Amino acid sequence: MIRRGGTLTDGDHRLLAIWAADCAEHVLPYFENARPDDDRPRRAVEAVRAWVNGEMKMMRARDFAGASQDAAREVKAISEPARMAALSAGQAAVVAHVAAHELGAAAYAIRAVMEAAPEDKKEEVRIAALFWQRDRLPERIRELVLDDQRLRNDTCWLVFSGQ
């Protein structure tokens, strides 16, 4: 796979998917507390993990991403943190299709914790979430992700600032 002019190995693609799933799973409680009977975002995270393990085809994982996006639309009026968590899960699942969505999963996860925080704590929780995610980056893809964050920070609501 070619990415920004370079080659992305299948192994690195899978590491990006695992990391995206970790980011999304970390904020799933925001959605699950708002909609305890709706498992679509959780199933999206499970789908990308299944894809990583060779247990699911890419197109099927992508279907779970769409279902999580639907869940996000449906919860919008109830809870913004829940919506962001469902969007994060959807982005994680679609990493199976397009690796670059790993950044969307991470950005929406950070937005979820920010939306849940009081106004005077938003920056503090943003930084904590950012470093939580970075602490979980496998060394092999660390520079790739950090480079993505620098290049696309402005399109991701500047949530990756503080590098």
**Rounded to two decimals, what is the model's pTM?**
0.95
**Which amino acid is present at 103?**
L
What contacts 140, CB < 8 A, 6 or more positions away?
A: 11, 12, 15
Which of 63, 1, 23 minimizes the C-alpha distance to 145?
A: 23
Q: To the nearest 10°, the Cα dihedral for 117, 119, 122, 123?
A: -160
Beta bridge partners of 7: 2
> Tokens 């995206």, residue?
20
pLDDT of 39-82, one tens digit each?
Answer: 999 999 999 999 999 999 999 999 999 999 999 999 999 999 99
